[in-house]
Structure 1
Amino acid sequence: MPITFSPMANSKRDADELVRFLTTNRFPFHVRPEHSEESAREAVASGRFWSGESHGYWIDDDGARIGLVVLDDLDEDTPMFDLRLAEAFRGKGLGPKVLAALCTKVFEQFPEPVRFEGQTREDNIAMRKTFLRAGFLKEAHYRLGWPTAEGPRVASVAYAILRQDWESKDTTGFEWHDLPA
């Protein structure tokens, strides 16, 4: 079965499921790697998972709930996403499959996006490889751009895919060092 996305609703049921998901999984490469019940409820109450700007979806694969994704800025030409797979489903090669399905969702359902972007920490090698395997291209490396729970900041690395590249299944490259010093 293909990856599917079920929209989250501003309901007690989804709020409770979100709290359970956030408190029973660690996310070591996110700004907040783990949640207490209180911090998870605060995140849910803040509108992070459903608001005018954010749309949360549960991710299912073959009937199993494997994670969640939040899409931001869908009314703009460059939406972004926050992806969190449950610990039990990491390292199984699902990342590129999820990103491919996510690109299909964004580019088929929303007319405005010309590109789709995600960011991760420089030390999240698995996610960086996932971006590349899914046809995304590295576009930025923000030095010391990501605060960490451990203390020292690390670089934030941005990847994007163009609508035209998604449609053609090709990658439009660019000259990274186009301006000599």
Structure 2
Amino acid sequence: MPALTLRPVERPRDDDAFVEFLSAHEFPFHMQPRPTAEEAHKRLTSGIVDGPGAFGCWVLADGEMVGIVTLEDLEDDTALIDLRLAEDARGRGIGTAILPVIVREVFDRFPTVRKLEGQTREDNVAMRRAFRRAGWVKEAHYREGWPVAGGQPLASVAYAILRSDVQSGTTTPVPWDDEP
């Protein structure tokens, strides 16, 4: 496994690289599977990496850019993660290995965040496995919650990790059968 690190996206220095990365790769399990350069630029200028409550980092493997992670709602106690890996970086265990690095970065940099959450489509088996292997817990299964262009909606599956669990080295179970 290569050494995995994060490097904050710096604007405007990284603007062209951000647009190039998003528009050069296909992300089949995202709402926009292949953003155009114009769409990627619009996403960037909307503040996705540096707006209020937002932060973006490059995912580096042995210093080579292999992905990007954007975080939203960092002013709240629950932040949201969006991880995108380059096509040639998938299937190598990078998703599972980078998640703890992201968790440390968020919990160290943003002390008011107590929970980090990510959602993916039900058919994104690789990301679902990555979340579980990295210690995240499935918290929700939103039936028909993910629109699919030209097709039936799929379920959106939510995973999360708690700051308190990371600090204690434990996992707080979800009380699925708590109704009296």
1:3 is aligned to: 4
| Alignment pair present for 1:135 and 2:135 | yes
Moved over 3 A (4+): none
What letter is aligned with 1:167?
Q
Is the 2:122–2:157 Cα contact (8 Å) retained in structure 1? Answer: yes
| Of 142-151 and 66-75, the range deviating more from structure 2 | 142-151
**What 5-or-longer segments of structure 2 have no aligned partner?**
none
| Alignment pair present for 1:25 and 2:25 | yes
| Alignment pair present for 1:84 and 2:84 | yes
1:179 is aligned to: 179
Structure 2 Cα separation of the partners of residues 36 and 136 of structure 1? 32
What letter is aligned with 1:177?
D
Q: Percent identity between the aligned chains?
A: 47
Is the 1:96–1:130 Cα contact (8 Å) retained in structure 2? Answer: yes
| Of 155-164 and 41-50, the range deviating more from structure 2 | 41-50
| Of 31-40 and 166-175, the range deviating more from structure 2 | 166-175
**What 5-or-longer segments of structure 1 have no aligned partner?**
none
1:78-157 → structure 2 map (5 Å cutoff): 78-157=78-157
CA deviation profile, 1:88-116 (whole Å, cap 9, x unmatched): 10000111111010111111222112211
Is the 1:33–1:149 Cα contact (8 Å) retained in structure 2? Answer: no
What letter is aligned with 2:6?
F
What letter is aligned with 1:73?
D
Structure 2 Cα separation of the partners of residues 99 and 111 of structure 1? 18
After TM superposition, the score normalised by the length of structure 2 is: 0.93
What letter is aligned with 1:138?
K
Structure 2 Cα separation of the partners of residues 121 and 83 of structure 1? 13
